[in-house]
Amino acid sequence: MTNNRSFAALFRRGKLRERASILTRTRPRDWLETARRDWLAQPRADILAGIVVSLALIPEAIGFALIAGVDPSVGLYASVAIAMVIAFTGGRPGMISAATAAVAVVVIPLVRDYGVEYLFAATILMGVFQGIAALLRLDLLMQFVSRSVITGFVNALAILIFMAQIPQLLPGNPGVGPWTWVMVLAGLAIIYGLPRLTKAVPSPLVAIVLLTIVAVWLGLPVNNVAGEGTLPDGLPSFALPDVPLTWETLRIIAPYSLTMAAVGLLESLLTAQIVDDMTHTDSDKRRECGGQGVANIAAACFGGMGGCAMIGQSVINVASGGRGRLSTFVAGAFLLFLLTVLGPYVGQVPMPALVAVMVMVSIGTFSWNSIPNLRVHPPTSSFVMIATVVVTVWTHDLALGVLTGVLLSGIFFAGKVRNLFTVERVRRPHSSVYVVTGEIFFASVDKFIAMLGPESQYEDAAHHVVIDVSRAHFWDISAIGALEKVVDRMRRNGRHTRIVGLNNASADLFDKFALADRTGLESGLAPH
């Protein structure tokens, strides 16, 4: 009753009305402002950029579908669904997500052994795993990816993008000849030259349109999009995977789904960080994890394979002026329009035009500053960057390259931190005091043990030894074990040994995990 009276009194005084009015004024307004910024800040630029990206997605999606061993429509429908859904659910406006090679290579054995329906089921489970990753805040693991690894990832991807264009440029390959090279050079001239005259229209779009008109009008003997694979001629339909709902099915698809989810999130989060740097804005990495999951589930339900963020297409989008969610949505929506309405015309787009665009992407993606920085950056950072590039390019596995870089970064970091402590021996009238300053953890324990005694090695050895750790911190059980080992060695050496100055956190670790007799232990500055 008292609470009800208090509530009524508070409401009569207008406090709740005031708070409610504030919420109604700010939250919808903030939501509308965010929506306006993400969707309508620059609609013209976003729409044009999305059109450019949609054209660049076609050969990529077809190629990735063929890698996975499925019909080209599976890759194209995946790109449509993922791009349109992630525009609403993703955490990085302006980033392009679609079918990718990183996911395609993972599912080759699954498609070969069990068929495309199991691919759809695995993609749905992939989305579920990514949603769980968002709930568990696994996006925070990106904090352990160093700048050197990101630079190596970017450089490796730029090299891989360029290498993927080589078959369309090598003489002797079907459809490749002098006209191919002329068109590629003409495309690059338009892409880099037009912005000097005007930036009203994205230069890659102008290059694609002009080169298509010239190729069709003159009947030039060059490869076109239709030669890459059959384009679908209808809308995708909603359908659940035709697989038995049994534990056996789960046993088959779960390992693939987990790998797909991990690879997809890794590439998406790295690409989001790169787009953050390019646009000088921040993104919601946790929302991106969940958004990728929703997009992949939607793709599978409409006959598509799994996918993730694409750094190449994201660079095209940003370079063409795309910044908002509208550009991502238009990329997917216009791709669907191209496939269902303009399919015969899209098939006539010459591959040299798209090769020119992708060469521009590889040039723009590569971090050219990283080459002169090899001389000025620390050797360990340069080694991590180079190792990431080499492993990624050698294996064509982005996840393996990044994992290599992260492991090397961790090893080098541990090597640096292991030296961030000092031990000073101070001889007093009746004792020797070892003053420890710095951080003690698993990587520094060997050096810690070596620097503390035994006391008998000194000519002025004392019978009483004090180990003062008031300016030190013990981080793990390895550090506690090292401290125990030092004390045990001192005592076996005939020295009366005391530890003083353990801070609260270190003392708690000692209480929980120390195994030896604690006689003589003093907490000193931090009693416990």
Alpha helices per DSSP H over 90-136: 101-104, 108-114, 116-135
How long a stretch of residues is the chain? 528
215 neighbors 348 (Cβ within 8 angstroms): yes
Residue with token string 């579908």: 65
> What is the distance between the alpha carbons of residues 303 and 339, in angstroms, rounded to a whole number?
15
Report pLDDT for 241.
92
Q: Which two tokens stand for residue 180?
A: 């191919």
21 neighbors 303 (Cβ within 8 angstroms): no
Cα torsion for 221, 181, 61, 96, to the nearest 10°?
Answer: -140
- Find the range with the poorest average confidence among 56-65, 361-370, 472-481: 56-65
Report pLDDT for 523.
43
How large a percentage of the chain has pLDDT more than 90? 33
User: In Å, what is the CA distance from 204 to each residue of 196, 199, 471?
Assistant: 14, 11, 60
81 neighbors 300 (Cβ within 8 angstroms): no
User: Using one digit for the tens of pLDDT, what is the confidence trace for 126-170?
Assistant: 999 999 999 999 888 877 788 888 889 888 888 887 888 888 888
- Find the range with the poorest average confidence among 140-149, 456-465, 470-479, 506-515: 506-515
Q: Which residue has the higher pLDDT, 2 or 227?
A: 227
Beta bridge partners of 499: 467, 521
Q: Cβ atoms within 10 A of the Cβ of 196, count?
A: 8
User: Using one digit for the tens of pLDDT, what is the confidence trace for 356-389?
Assistant: 888 887 888 788 988 998 888 889 999 999 999 9
> What is the distance between the alpha carbons of residues 522 and 408, in angstroms, rounded to a whole number?
39
335 neighbors 296 (Cβ within 8 angstroms): no
Report pLDDT for 28.
59
Confidence category of residue 27, pLDDT binned at 50, 70, 90: low
> What is the distance between the alpha carbons of residues 179 and 140, in angstroms, rounded to a whole number?
49
> What is the distance between the alpha carbons of residues 219 and 192, in angstroms, rounded to a whole number?
26
| pLDDT, average across residues 491-520 | 78
User: Using one digit for the tens of pLDDT, what is the confidence trace for 93-117?
Assistant: 999 999 987 788 788 889 989 999 9
What string of DSSP letters covers 262-292?
Answer: HHHHHHHHHHHHHHHHHHT----HHHHHHHH
Q: Is the peptide bond before 454 cis (omega within 30 degrees of 0)?
A: yes
Asked if the model's pLDDT at residue 19 lies above 70, the reply is no
